Structures are given as structure tokens and as C-alpha cells.
Amino acid sequence: MEYSRHNASIRLAILLAGFHVLIIAASNYLVQLPVTVLGFHATWGAFVFPFIFLTTDLTVRIFGALQAKRIVFYAMVPALIVSYVITVLFRDAQWTGIESLGHFNLFVFRIAMASLSAYVVGQIMDIFVFNKLRQHEVWWYAPLASAIVGNLVDTFTFFTIAFYKTSDTYLAEHLVEIAIVDYAFKIIINSVLFLPMYKVVLDRVKNV
């Protein structure tokens, strides 16, 4: 029985790490694609990346802060590699050909490095805040507070490293606006969608 539980725990940890990699890679690709929402400039990445905080908070709740940090660490390098490869191969939603991997792309590399830096800093901050508040009697208190702080740190780090004085005209001209809208979307999505989803998934995992 104990062996079976250990295996289930390992499988869940691997699944969560894989989900981290998937979200980061998708976000890095979609951040290239502009979108206007209610007159504000943004990118499609704003709608995907908030999933990372849902995953992180569940990881902390299930495994604790130490194991959550390990999962973040294990996901870093694969996320960086996958992000770079996918974004180079599909630049601006266009297939560039496998030969494009033979040429260093500074624009994409900045996105990948910015994502890696923001991911590590943001997730550690998210874990720290969530772990401090996880024993609060109100179940949504910790995930909401950690999302507010973690997303703020993540957004500032990512957009500064990735797009400050970037060669991309759209991103350069609307950098501050995109960053603010991105952060606002993350908080709204976390509050309206992910908090209820977090509760449902948490209850289901606990009953397994």
C-alpha cells in the first residue's frame, strides 16, 4: 500500500512538472501574438500563463513548499529548451522551417530567458506567500494572495527582460500598457476562473 502511494505521488509530481513546461512553452509562443481586448493592447499569452499559478498552488498544497520548489527547479531547463524551439519554429504563427534552429534568434532567446527568470522568481514568491498563508481557515485566502504577489513579480520581470528596447514594434510601442493589461487579466482570470477550479481539483486530489 505504501509503495503504491509513493508511486502515485511520483506520477503526480511528474505530471505537475510537465504541466509547468507546457504552460511556459505555450505562453512564450502566444506572447508574440497581439490581441486587443476592450480597446486595450495585449497578447494571447495573458490568457494562458495564469494556469502556472494554479498548478504551483496545488503543488504546494499537496506536496509542501520544499517539494514544490524542486518541481519548479526540474521544470526550468526543459521549459527553456521547449520554449525556444517552438517559438523559433513558429515565429509569428508562421512555420519557419527546421533549418531556422541553426540560426541564433536573439528575440526569441530573450523571451525564453525572461520567461525562465520570471518563472523562477514568480513561482518562488508564489510558493513563499502561499505557504505562509496555507493554514488560513478561509481556503481561497492563500491562493488569491499568492497569485496577486506572484503575478506582479512575474509580470515585471518578464516584460522588462524580454521586451525592453525590443526590435518588435508592437511590443516596444505598447510595452507598459501590455504589461499592465497582462497583469490585470491574470488577476481577473485567477479570481473568477482558477479559484473555483483550484477548489474542485484540490478536493478531487485529496479524495484519491
CATH code for position 79: 1.10.1760
The residue range of the domain holding 189 is 2-206
- Give the burial class of 83: count Cβ atoms within 10 A of its Cβ; 0-12 exposed, 13-18 middle, 19 or more buried: buried
Predicted confidence pLDDT, tens digits, the chain (208 residues): 555 666 777 888 888 888 888 888 888 788 878 888 778 778 888 788 778 777 777 777 778 777 877 887 888 888 888 888 888 888 777 788 888 888 888 888 888 888 888 878 877 887 788 778 777 777 777 878 888 888 888 888 988 888 888 888 888 888 888 889 888 888 887 778 777 777 777 677 666 5
Query: H or E element: which one contains 208?
Result: none
Residue 89 near residue 2 (C-beta atoms within 8 A): no
For 2, counting Cβ atoms within 10 Å of its Cβ (0-12 exposed, 13-18 middle, 19+ buried), the class is exposed
Q: Report the pLDDT value the prediction gives residue 205, as an integer from 0 to 100.
A: 65
The pLDDT score that the predictor gives to residue 3 is: 53
Do the Cβ atoms of 156 and 114 come closer than 8 Å? no
Is the pTM higher than 0.85? The answer reads no
pLDDT of residue 18: 87
Question: How many degrees, rounded to 5, is the angle at CA 204 between CA 200 and CA 207?
Answer: 145
State the total domains in the chain: 1
